Every structure is written in C-alpha cells, then in structure tokens.
Chains A and B, each alone.
Chain A
Amino acid sequence: EAGVTQFPSHSVIEKGQTVTLRCDPISGHDNLYWYRRVMGKEIKFLLHFVKESKQDESGMPNNRFLAERTGGTYSTLKVQPAELEDSGVYFCASSQDGVVAETLETQYFGPGTRLLVL
C-alpha cells in the first residue's frame, strides 16, 4: 500500500510569489491533515479535512493560505503571496475514520515539502 505522498519535495521561491503544495493521502483515508514546522519551532497543526470538508482550520496562520480537497482525494495548500516567515517544512498526514479501534485516528505522515522563501 502506498503511503502519503507530497509534491514537490522542495520549493524555493521569492517573496511575493505563489506556491502550491500537493498531498495525496493513503487510499481510503477520509481524514487529511496539514502541519508545518518553521525553523526552530515545533510542528504545528494547520487544518483538517474530512473527505472534502474542512473540519478544523484553526491553525491556518492567515488568509494568504488556502487549502482545498476537491472530491475528497488529494489536497492542495496554496500560499499567495508567500512571505519570508512561511519558510519551513509542510507535512501532510492522513488517517482512517472507521470502527477498527487499533487503526482509528493514527495519522501517517508524508515526507514533507521543504519551502524556502527568499
């Protein structure tokens, strides 16, 4: 079974440009999460999708960030316009939503996208 995949693995852009990150969750996982780790800081929650609906977007830092999950499959996270403080590693995770307790809500992470804004 394929794990969570993220694209691109690295992105270097200039301040003011737009960047779109993509996450493909594990097949069959209804829950999809975005997290990020900025330099020297802890990994922080950004938002949570259940299928195509935003369940919790309390961690989104500001309106320059837009996340979508069309059709409840892959998700994109767009940063427009990017600022220097947006640099960091963006992680995506997915989890099942079912009745099997041992697998319920364990989040499996992708390799992350390393974003550098110059």
Chain B
Amino acid sequence: AQKVTQAQTEISVVEKEDVTLDCVYETRDTTYYLFWYKQPPSGELVFLIRRNSFDEQNEISGRYSWNFQKSTSSFNFTITASQVVDSAVYFCALSGPSPYKLSFGAGTTVTVRA
C-alpha cells in the first residue's frame, strides 16, 4: 500500500519569508514517482514537479525548490521569498509503476500575508 503524509495542515507566513512543506511517503515499490500539485483558490490542481525514484537530484525552479531524500522517504518543498500569490493548498502525491494512480497527502494550506 502507498501512503503520503503531509503533517502540516496549515502554514501562515509573512511575505518574503521562506516556507518549507514536508512530505513523507511509504511505498513497497522500487520504482515510483513523486509529485507536487498546487491548488489555488480557483480550485484547479496545477502540476508543479515530478520526481522519479531513481533520480535523487534536488531541483530548483525560480523561487521553488525540492529536496528528495530516499533515505528518509521525504520529498520536501520550499518556497523562497514567498509572495501573496503563493497562497494555496499544496498536495504531495505518489504513484507506483503502472497503472500510475496517484495517492495524495491531505494537503497543506499556505497563507502568505502581505
């Protein structure tokens, strides 16, 4: 069985602060895929990043960065210098090899105050 845990329910920060979202996963698959999605107030799920289990390189995209550590089964997400537009619910998700259905964490609500 696959499980994703996002222990932080809500995080509130002031603009320009950094915020890190934790994601811990459980899986018995040796090949798996990790994802982060953003759900802004408008409701759609926006794809942010996908990571394959065999690629542990960390990644940076603008103000976003991701830290993948297989040793601790974690895939954490950091927003640097947060902005009000970063306010959203962020979901971490996991899929195994085919058929690729996603298992989601409960989501972390990030509120960035001006």
CB atoms of B45 and A33 under 8 A apart: no
Q: Does A105 contact B (CB under 8 A)?
A: yes
Closest Cβ of chain A to B43, distance in Å, is: 6
Give chain A residues whose Cβ lies under 8 Å from the Cβ of B33.
105
Interface class of chain A by DSSP? strand
Contact with B along A30-55 (1 / 0, CB 8 A): 01010100000011110010000001
CB atoms of A45 and B47 under 8 A apart: no
CB atoms of A56 and B42 under 8 A apart: no
Please, how many angstroms separate the alpha-carbon atoms of A111 and B44 in the complex? Answer: 4
Instruction: Give the size range of A's interface with the partner.
Output: 20 to 34
Q: A105-B33, A106-B35, A111-B43 are in contact. Are A59 and B101 (CB under 8 A)?
A: yes
Instruction: Give the size range of B's interface with the partner.
Output: 20 to 34
Most chain B beta-carbon neighbours within 10 Å: one of A31, A43, A110, A112 = A43
Q: A106-B50, A109-B44 are in contact. Are A48 and B35 (CB under 8 A)?
A: no
Give chain A residues whose Cβ lies under 8 Å from the Cβ of B100.
31, 48, 95, 105, 107
Please, how many angstroms separate the alpha-carbon atoms of A56 and B96 in the complex? Answer: 14
